[in-house]
Amino acid sequence: MAQSGNHLDLPLETFSKVVESVYDCALDPTHWPETVGMIAELCRSQYCALGVIDLENADTLLAYQVGIDEQYQRLAEGKYAAMNPCIGSVQLLPVGTVATRAMLVGDHEFLESRYYQELLKPQGIRDIIAFNALKTEQRIGLFAANRLESQGRYGDADVRLLSLLAPHVCRSVAISDALNLKTIRSEALEATLDALASGVYLTDRQGRIVYMNRAAERQVRSSNALLIGNNRLMPVDRVARAALTNAIAEATADEAEAPSGGMTLALPGDETAGLVATILPLNRGQRRDLGGAFAATAAIFVQDPIVMPPLPGEAFAKLHGLTGSELRVLLAMSPGLSVKEAAEMLGISEATAKTHLHHIYAKTSTSKQTELMHLFMGSAPPVQAAPSPPDASVKD
């Protein structure tokens, strides 16, 4: 069994059995609970968990844990999720890189946090070791283990042991992720469209929908400006409905009869401002290849002008040298929260949040929150570009 310290004392046969079990999980995820238990025993941990989260839909795709009370698990995933002082630093780790709690955040910040005082301490948990098992544009996976006070801290030997196992866990999770992707006529194209923040609707010549990306599915469920009727897009506003029908007809007309640059329409909502739609013909030149995979002749891009896309926190933090704690504060404030509100959400003092904010200002050469947020929002990926919110929505 692995021992904390400067050496490893682990039979090769034991380690090999765990690795074999890890790869069994790639083809049959039902093996993960047993395998996670084996890993917990391997690294002498009271609690051990593996989770994969779908970023687009905020859904947990895999969640396997051993040793933790269900009540505390619900609190960890709910009330205290944003208060974890380690999470910002973990986001910055490359896939497969193992780190202990001491490598992620200092003793004082961790032990004084509400996350430790209210969630971990009552369970007797004192130390953490973790690594990212998966990182894609759509999904992230995290492995984490905890030790009780009586079990001592994770040492160098534990990091080396888990570093030997981590690549196998990462490969297994990556294989499972690939095998669980929906298979359609063009997987690569679907993955590209699903990465867009705008809703994408592909239609045939009659205006019937032949494909919607994930953002489009969410729009239809939540928007009061757009519905689907008889398998066709149906703007709530009657004028917009007629305009969209005409625009699709023009876009799907013969190449010689219609412009190829696309048309833009307003789709007013019942109460709010509504959506903006851009109709692009797909029967022009190389666009035929795109539409051909779905038997589509027009693409309709629908965007909510006030909805911001997911923010590239990790890339922004690396660009400006932000620490994990500073990244947590930045992400908490990005929706427009004040320093005090962000501190309350993260479970830290307002003074600590202000200290992190001043460090962020210095590293990004900004001096106030509006300036910082414009810089941050401007770092969004081009495929997910959206207008920045007005200055009045951000508090200084």
pLDDT at 6 over 60: no
**Residue span of the structural domain in which 18 resides:** 12-179
CATH (domain of 275): 3.30.450.20
In a domain, 246, yes or no: yes
Q: Where are the alpha helices (DSSP H) in the chain?
A: 12-27, 32-42, 70-77, 87-91, 101-104, 107-111, 114, 156-179, 187-194, 214-222, 238-251, 287-292, 313-320, 324-333, 339-346, 350-364, 369-377
Which of 36-45, 76-85, 325-334 is most confident?
36-45
Convert the pLDDT of each residue in 261-284 to its tens digit.
Answer: 457 788 888 766 688 888 878 765
Q: Which residues is 229 bridged to in the sheet?
A: 232
The reported pLDDT for the residue numbered 342 is 87
Query: What's the structural domain count of the chain?
Result: 3
96 token code pair: 């497969």
In a domain, 1, yes or no: no
What is the band of 10 on the pLDDT scale with cuts at 50, 70, 90? low
The reported pLDDT for the residue numbered 307 is 57
The reported pLDDT for the residue numbered 132 is 93
The reported pLDDT for the residue numbered 74 is 77
pLDDT at 73 over 70: yes
- Within this chain, do residues 283 and 347 fall inside the same structural domain, yes or no? no
- Within this chain, do residues 247 and 112 fall inside the same structural domain, yes or no? no
Least confident piece of the model among 211-215, 248-252, 346-350: 248-252
pLDDT at 390 over 60: no
- Within this chain, do residues 162 and 286 fall inside the same structural domain, yes or no? no
Which of 12-26, 306-320, 382-396 is most confident?
12-26
Convert the pLDDT of each residue in 321-336 to its tens digit.
Answer: 999 899 989 988 887 8
The reported pLDDT for the residue numbered 178 is 63
How far, in Å, are 34, 49, 155, 165, 251 from residue 147 at the CA level?
Answer: 19, 12, 12, 18, 62
The reported pLDDT for the residue numbered 162 is 94
